Structure 1
């Protein structure tokens, strides 16, 4: 479910575009840290939900979410423009409009004195990866892009109705695969993905999960 929700979506395009402009390692660690954190937080919210409301109500909400997301995805696929690169181009324009990071300051950095250069050489690569502006940008853009989307809400619903550990493991595995594919494949991969086909497959899968949830019994 998470793979079909994430492939070709906004955060997938963000990872692909950032990987084309910045060091892939920083982008990969930033995006992965963000999606893993959001998956865990979403599952925890879903796991806590049955303690706040009845399990029967949580099950009913989950079933409605699946049907709602299924119909929503099919509607989006039906109304999707023939230009499959629309989302990619939109994200690219938004990133271009964002404030410039250290990319535009490289010439000045090269003019730094020898002491600054020596300090940079003493830094450990592992630490510079996680403290770099690129890491922070990839993490923040992905985190806020993931918050409130279909995959996150579906994760909350699943964790409320199923085993939370299984939901976390499945969600993280899917997010890691999608993020690695976006970073390694880059913009060329994102541009070749048919959003309409992915939305249709996602909608059908959500409806199947909705039917299974409707037919399942509550322990």
Structure 2
């Protein structure tokens, strides 16, 4: 049970920090201004649960087929890459994704969030964690982490944007990815050397 809770907590933390300042938060904030809050929250739950579930499933299958130490090393390289990518500054190419108002806010939120985040760093992080830890714990923690980050944007996005510079959020997030990447890399290299 401790390993399950530990994996869920790690997944929650990594996904939550990785989503801070990401396009999904901007989209969630925008959706909250266009649609009923109930539709936005339900849409986020469905899209995020499906996305993280798909990611963890792929990671778990790959984890059973490939040696864990090599997957851990690949995950370390990805974490370091995400950290360096976050330090580069600028805007992501699809930050300006605008979704026109449609009949069903729920379907719009589900489709837009799933497609915008498909292949994003959150999905890759969940794949890496799913290959090393209990997939159910990673799904639970990752889904809760991404949902918490996006709901934070829905409920407090305007306050955060006025008071905390985007650069600070980006640098803290990047620093955590770099530290975790280095720690995973050291662990993987040590295990491979044995």
TM-score interval, normalised by the smaller of the two chains:
0.7 to 0.9
Question: Which residue of the other structure, out of 34, 57, 60, is the alignment partner of 1:47?
Answer: 60
User: Quick one: distance in 2 between partners of 1:175 and 1:160?
Assistant: 19
User: Quick one: distance in 2 between partners of 1:72 and 1:204?
Assistant: 11
Quote the offset at 1:191 in angstroms: 3.6
Indicate the residue corresponding to 2:182 in structure 1. Answer: 211
Larger mean Cα displacement after TM superposition, 57-66 or 157-166:
157-166
Contact 1:8–1:190 (CA<8 Å) still a contact in 2?
no
Q: Residue 190 and residue 134 in structure 1: after superposition, are their counterparts in 2 closer, same or farther (change >3 A)? A: farther
Indicate the residue corresponding to 1:144 in structure 2. Answer: 115
Return the TM-score normalized by structure 1: 0.71
User: Quick one: distance in 2 between partners of 1:20 and 1:145?
Assistant: 19
Gaps of 5+ in 2: 1-13
Quote the offset at 1:218 in angstroms: 4.5
Indicate the residue corresponding to 1:124 in structure 2. Answer: none
Gaps of 5+ in 1: 82-86, 103-132
Paired positions, count: 174
Q: Which has the larger radius of gyration?
A: 1
**1:48-197 matched pairs, under 5 angstroms:** 48-76=61-89, 80=90, 90-91=96-97, 94-95=98-99, 98=100, 100-102=101-103, 133-185=104-156, 188-189=158-159, 191-192=161-162, 194-197=165-168
RMSD between aligned alpha carbons? 2.3
User: Quick one: distance in 1 between partners of 2:169 and 2:49?
Assistant: 22
Indicate the residue corresponding to 2:38 in structure 1. Answer: 25
User: Quick one: distance in 2 between partners of 1:66 and 1:34?
Assistant: 24
Indicate the residue corresponding to 1:36 in structure 2. Answer: 49
Relative contact order, higher structure (CA 8 A, sep 6+): 1
Q: Residue 74 and residue 169 in structure 1: after superposition, are their counterparts in 2 closer, same or farther (change >3 A)? A: same
User: Quick one: distance in 2 between partners of 1:163 and 1:183?
Assistant: 30
Contact 1:62–1:161 (CA<8 Å) still a contact in 2?
no
Contact 2:21–2:170 (CA<8 Å) still a contact in 1?
no
Contact 1:43–1:156 (CA<8 Å) still a contact in 2?
yes
Q: Residue 43 and residue 211 in structure 1: after superposition, are their counterparts in 2 closer, same or farther (change >3 A)? A: same
